[in-house]
Chain A
């Protein structure tokens, strides 16, 4: 399954406003993308478009997350979301 690793750039982590922006972007895609902290088993990955999942994930600034998706458009979707993780969304 295609996957991307990305380091969280938002100062407050993937919480609050960054989580909302990220979840919204993931929800707008036609592909289902999952997110997990690097090093956790694949079956514990969560829905990237769920703000509540992102909030319970607890990814802080500097943490590495793994994004996974399958099917047509998966690579583009992953590139887009990985770029978002690596943007400081608190500053947007």
Chain B
């Protein structure tokens, strides 16, 4: 049986499947011990469940690699920790139900760790993970999170959360398929960053039996239950072509020598070093949220500067485009955003947080300037969620005051694409964030599976907005236009964007080789022709098909 979804990262593999367990429901507040239960017996039951969790984690630690080993050993100790179990025991003696007692006890411990701050605050997550495992053990259900396994498998889930990335072991998880989510969902982003073949929004896959063999094609977007010879052959072919797509020579160009620098999207120094090693010609999107997330207070200017400097150091003499803090919507920050907004995607987010909490942006710009001073990177700075020309002018003013030479704006709000010729008179460059641009142009939430069809960067309306941005940038004095959304990582779309006149493409570093290979196979006039086909197509699907049929190497390479 074939399940059609949306392919979000290429690759063709066959393996047995494991389902992601259901998230664990919180034991209801006020849960009490059933009448007639002896608290001492209940506590003994909790201790034996905790011991079982301890033993399982300890056993996994013996098989884990160096990094994971220490974390698993520490987590195993937490499972039978006296501080946790004594606190739970007290609640049980006072009449609280066993599951609720361990739940609340862990909340208390996590709060104490958070209060200590720093490294300890990060460990609070481990305490909550242990708690979920103990409650699952008490209920006799599988532990939440990615299933552990000694043999490789394909993971089936409804959708994955960002936190699942940390525990996703790519030596055993070969591919991802989800019934929910869209092309811009967390699952898609995780799959691209880990280089895993993935299909999202494949309705019906939850019915596939655990342990059965399936075929996943992350380019065509299909999941096939009980694969046949054709699928086996395709998977074998992919295994060979994957090797040729493993390296990028460090020069993005069309067949006729039109240069399109291929840059990387990074979030921290580790990403930046990995991207440089994969041949990235610079950074087209440096997400600065990482040093702000999970913080209750704003990091100091010096702290920020040190973090930025570490990223700049990976690209001496190269361009690094820094995006200022993009808090709000799916990235809330306690000191900056209002969690009670009814519609956060249309709320105070990105650049707009400067209106409600002035000062944070100025301090960030001065930290960037400080890091730029003792770095050899060519640092550009852009603001997210700009909607009007006065906003662009204000941002450029702040950059100038901080001593930053190259200010720019993200194009995510359609209003800026429509008025690019005017807005870009205020700044030096534009960078299209196609994920948000698509979400706003199509009025479709990125995370919703049922809207995946609308949330497609191949939508002719979205490509038209790209075209208008390029035209506006030319009119405003040949200003540079880049794309830093996930669409740049789709080799066919990368050709279209190049044809539309985009100057640079920035993507997850793992996609550089595939995009570079395909781009090199077309000339600029061919790319322009393909771009016209896509913009003028009646639908996203027809545009994609028309372009793909003219790029036969995509099918050959399994892209």
Q: Which A residues form the contact surface with B (CB < 8 A)? A: 12, 15-17, 19-20, 23-24, 27, 46-47, 49-53, 55-56, 58
Contact = CB atoms under 8 A, between A and B. Distances in A.
Contacts of A58: 116, 120
Interface string B88-129: 000000000000000000000100110010011001000100
Given A20-B77, A27-B77, 10 more contacts: A23-B77, A23-B81, A50-B84, A51-B77, A52-B83, A52-B109, A52-B127, A53-B81, A55-B116, A56-B112
A20 B83 contact: no
Given A17-B70, A46-B83, A24 B77 contact: yes
A55 B77 contact: no
B74 interface: yes
A20 B116 contact: no
Interface of B: 70, 73-74, 77-78, 81-84, 109, 112-113, 116, 119-120, 123, 127
B83 A53 contact: yes
A27 B80 CA distance: 10
A19 B82 contact: no
Contact of A51 (B70, B78, B112, B119): B78
Nearest to B118: A15
Given A24-B77, A55-B116, A55-B123, A47 B83 contact: yes
A15 B70 CA distance: 12
Contacts of A17: 70, 74
Contacts of B83: 46-47, 50, 52-53, 56
A51 B57 CA distance: 15
A16 B74 CA distance: 8
Contacts of A46: 83
9 pairs of A and B residues whose beta carbons are closest in the complex: A52-B83, A50-B83, A20-B74, A51-B77, A50-B82, A53-B83, A47-B82, A56-B112, A52-B81
Contacts of B82: 47, 49-50, 53
The prevalent SS among residues of B at the interface is helix
A12 B120 CA distance: 12
A13 to B, nearest CB: 9
Contacts of A15: 119-120
The prevalent SS among residues of A at the interface is helix
A17 B112 CA distance: 19
A27 B74 CA distance: 13
A92 B335 CA distance: 40
A30 to B, nearest CB: 15
The CB with the most chain B CB atoms within 10 A, among A15, A17, A47, A55, is that of: A55
A15 B123 CA distance: 10
Contacts of B73: 20
Contacts of A23: 77, 81
Given A46-B83, A50-B83, A56 B78 contact: no
A49 B83 CA distance: 9
A58 B114 CA distance: 12
Contacts of A51: 74, 77-78, 81
A55 B70 contact: no
B351 to A, nearest CB: 38
B88 to A, nearest CB: 12
Contacts of A19: 74
A27 B113 CA distance: 21
A50 B70 CA distance: 16
Contacts of B74: 16-17, 19-20, 51
Contacts of A56: 83, 109, 112-113, 116, 120
B116 A16 contact: no
Contacts of B127: 52
B400 to A, nearest CB: 42
A23 B73 CA distance: 11
A34 B12 CA distance: 56
Nearest to A16: B119
Nearest to A23: B77
B554 to A, nearest CB: 47
A71 B116 CA distance: 33
B56 to A, nearest CB: 17
Contacts of A16: 70, 74, 119
Nearest to B115: A56
Nearest to B79: A51
Given A46-B83, A58-B116, A52 B70 contact: no
Contacts of A49: 82
Nearest to B73: A20
A55 to B, nearest CB: 5
A27 B127 CA distance: 19
A40 to B, nearest CB: 15
A48 B83 CA distance: 10
A3 B197 CA distance: 59
A33 B120 CA distance: 23
A91 B247 CA distance: 37
Contacts of B70: 16-17, 20
